[in-house]
Chains A and B, each alone.
Chain A
């Protein structure tokens, strides 16, 4: 059982991950869970027990994930991180993973505070948001979704731990997406950041919640059966044949137009709204293994002789460059 505080949003995200993995029918041995340090990073201990896992150094999960993915790209990778692990100590690692378009689902359990060290503001705390003792935050927040868009990422979504109907299909879409899928999940800290004046409390999130684009995941073999209003439904085909049906809740929002999406997100921020849904997707971008023209057979399953052909071959290679 989870040892996080009772009522922690992270447990709901765990629940959503379990449900998504169940619905996608992912065998445990085909999945790898990675995390860094923090309350969020403890959670892989509470789901998919028989899967592969690595709990890395603070903020260094993207590097470990990159190595694992390079060695065996055939697994489904899910990284669970927090706002501190991603946006403070791990910011450098995070941004380069976005650039690399590493093929994984990267979940940020974002609560605006450092819960493990008793509730100091994190880099995602909004301007003016109040700490438990009443101090207001003075520094502007980093919005991971804007970072992803600015750095040319291929998948940016935002959701809320208290809305599994939105979150579960997003997780499924993120797992099926080829490339670096970031979901920024507002996940309230029930102990240090659920009071009045906080902009990451359950109440505040629900009051300012603004779903813009709903994404339904449709598995490869299945027809799109649900009825959508014409014009508002937009199917996006993923590389494995599955589809995401994007349903516009905001008429003017276009999740395939990078600059328009960035504008909308910034506008919502100015308006004090928490805009959620699949905010941007680009299925055409090559992911890390393609960029590096890696073999389709995972390195992990290649014979040692093939991976390391011996000194003679090395000499021959070096001779070519002389």
Chain B
């Protein structure tokens, strides 16, 4: 097998499963260690560098990091990464002195951002410190976009949202509220050096079935309805509510309904539970509030009585699944009526650009989604960039932030007359960090039965007002225990082939049998011949060149390693060494500073 090329930053980056899974590549183990040391402000700032909105994301992030977490492979439950982020945000000190600032002398370039949601705000956060002037157009009278309109305040309190938006706006964004863009042509004629479209996916999908428009006042489109609730245009709903759809928006709709007077809320799902789009934790939170989730019911018609909505008729579905859980056959076995006073449709959303003229060089594909370069975020018209849900359809906040970082690089390159495609590569740094059994920064002496449960406000209290935040966050004691579960995957095991004397000490000591010294072979073959078979093919094998004495190879299965450091502790020649991995994932600041750019290029090789 080809020896592993550890000079490619992707190799060790992938070992840090959480960081690799995070779209913005947040240094998760790094900030968890800072939390462990009580350095909450530093942890917050380390987060902010990558994901810009730690307080907000610490509550409502989609958490791609958690399913990836190595701890989840060791004992089922991952580290509660997202909630630890919130701990850093909740306990931090004043950060005003640490935030980036706009330089006194501007660089003379003006950038228009459409929409004041997470994507546009993150673009401003990256560009303003370089001297750019950012003009942000927002249709509503408050900034925040979907974070404000679609995420209920019992999950994301308004003051938390306002504070993190203010950090950016106060840098000097020219924020123009209640200023919807009606014409892209008009905007382009205003002489901006670049335009960033961060207008989100504001159009909720409709359900065109019989009776849809017979009582329109009691059939709501989920995201529009949530927005009306957020802006206090709606403050009540009927007693019996049906939510159609089972994504995260559906969870927000059902829980909001309960707070507006609904007594009986049912979430209607077309498919079985394994097919739900909502995150597990959002489902749990809804079910804790006694929301019933009814599966295998496909909407058929709205039923009226005396001209008023009486309920809905559903087809009862039956599915055949194959052994991998995929649907092979679908049947309708009957129909069922569910009474309802209101129905909320939460079956998805899409981006919509009625305000972009189709003859100005901005192309759209067959689904009416703009044609956008995945890497540069540039549309087909030079100088117009897309990010967030506006770019590739609905994703989530953390993806929008990463889009913004990448778009900011492109905007900078475009404004400076450089090639937007010529970007700095990712870089890495490895620094010896002796982490033996005596320096372990994680502990195995904890109760393995449960991941720490974040305390919630009790059911009676939480319904009293719409904006009572349900999650209380970890206490200091809980956080102190939870941080110890982090396996510090960024402390890498780095192997120096020329030093190895093949004494087997590492192989013998490894508590998880992830090391093997054996004859070389193809990857397929090697995977079957290790101390423990390497069955998780998503995780790499770390393979050395031929060893000095016998020509055999050292193989490490990255899937099993718990980064305990015992191999390095036992190695008599320091052929195994624990080294702290730092990823340098370039932002526009690195591109703009020639010195930094040089360092990144060096780290990248």
Contact = CB atoms under 8 A, between A and B. Distances in A.
18 contacts: A1-B509, A1-B566, A6-B571, A7-B503, A7-B573, A11-B505, A12-B508, A14-B508, A15-B508, A162-B502, A162-B504, A164-B504, A190-B501, A190-B503, A194-B501, A202-B502, A206-B502, A206-B550
A188 interface: yes
B433 interface: no
Given A1-B437, A14-B508, A6 B570 contact: yes
Contacts of A206: 502, 549-550
Interface string B503-517: 111011100000000
B338 to A, nearest CB: 59
Contact of B505 (A8, A194, A203): A8
B504 A6 contact: no
A206 B509 CA distance: 22
A6 B501 contact: no
Interface string A127-138: 000000000000
A277 interface: no
A82 interface: no
B193 interface: no
B571 A7 contact: yes
Interface string B561-605: 000001001111100000000000000000000000000000000
Contacts of A9: 503
Contact of A202 (B503, B508, B509, B571): B503
Interface string A176-212: 0000000000001010001000000011001000000
A15 B504 contact: yes
Interface residues of A, number: 20
Contacts of A260: none
Nearest to B572: A7
A95 interface: no
A161 interface: yes
A11 B501 contact: no
B503 A188 contact: yes
A209 to B, nearest CB: 9
Contacts of A89: none
Interface of B: 437, 501-505, 507-509, 549-550, 566, 569-573
Contacts of B437: 1
A7 to B, nearest CB: 3
B503 A162 contact: yes
Nearest to A203: B549
Chain A interface, DSSP helix/strand/loop, else mixed:
loop
Name the residue in A5, A6, A15, A190 with the highest tally of chain B Cβ atoms < 10 Å from its Cβ. Answer: A6
A190 B507 CA distance: 16
Contacts of B502: 162, 202, 206
A161 B502 CA distance: 10
* 6 A-B pairs closest in CB distance: A7-B572, A15-B508, A12-B504, A7-B503, A6-B570, A7-B505
Interface of A: 1-2, 5-9, 11-12, 14-15, 161-162, 164, 188, 190, 194, 202-203, 206
A38 B543 CA distance: 37
B572 A6 contact: yes
A188 to B, nearest CB: 7
Contacts of A6: 505, 569-572
A161 B505 CA distance: 10
A14 B566 CA distance: 17
Contacts of A12: 503-505, 508
A9 B501 CA distance: 11
A109 to B, nearest CB: 13
Contacts of B573: 7
Nearest to A187: B503
A198 to B, nearest CB: 12
Given A12-B504, A202-B502, 20 more contacts: A2-B509, A6-B569, A6-B571, A6-B572, A7-B503, A7-B505, A7-B570, A8-B503, A9-B503, A11-B509, A11-B570, A12-B505, A161-B503, A162-B504, A188-B503, A190-B503, A190-B572, A194-B501, A202-B503, A206-B550
Given A14-B508, A162-B504, A5 B572 contact: yes
Name the residue in B502, B504, B572 with the highest tally of chain A Cβ atoms < 10 Å from its Cβ. Answer: B504
Contacts of A1: 437, 509, 566
A304 B508 CA distance: 45
A131 B569 CA distance: 26
Contacts of B508: 11-12, 14-15
A11 B507 CA distance: 10
A71 to B, nearest CB: 33
Contacts of A14: 508
A185 to B, nearest CB: 13
Contacts of B501: 7, 190, 194, 202-203
Contacts of A203: 501, 549
Nearest to B507: A15
Nearest to B575: A7
B353 to A, nearest CB: 64
A202 B437 CA distance: 26
Nearest to B505: A7
Name the residue in A2, A202, A206 with the highest tally of chain B Cβ atoms < 10 Å from its Cβ. Answer: A202
B523 to A, nearest CB: 22
A164 B507 CA distance: 11
A248 to B, nearest CB: 22
Contacts of A7: 501, 503, 505, 570-573
Contacts of B509: 1-2, 11
B299 to A, nearest CB: 59
Contacts of A8: 503, 505
Contacts of A5: 572
A11 B503 CA distance: 9
Nearest to A46: B508
A5 B566 CA distance: 13
Contact of B549 (A2, A15, A164, A202): A202
A140 B44 CA distance: 69
Contacts of B550: 206
Nearest to A206: B549
A144 B501 CA distance: 26
A164 B508 CA distance: 11
A14 B508 CA distance: 9
A6 B567 CA distance: 10
A7 B571 CA distance: 6
A188 B570 CA distance: 15
Given A1-B437, A1-B509, A206-B549, A161 B504 contact: yes
A56 to B, nearest CB: 26
Contacts of A202: 501-503, 549
B508 to A, nearest CB: 4
Contacts of A194: 501
A190 B550 CA distance: 18
A2 B572 CA distance: 14
A15 B510 CA distance: 11
Contacts of B505: 6-8, 11-12
Contacts of B572: 5-7, 190
B516 to A, nearest CB: 11
Contacts of A15: 504, 507-508
B505 to A, nearest CB: 5
Contacts of B566: 1
Nearest to B508: A15
B576 to A, nearest CB: 10
A14 B570 CA distance: 15
A5 to B, nearest CB: 7
A7 B509 CA distance: 10
A161 B571 CA distance: 16
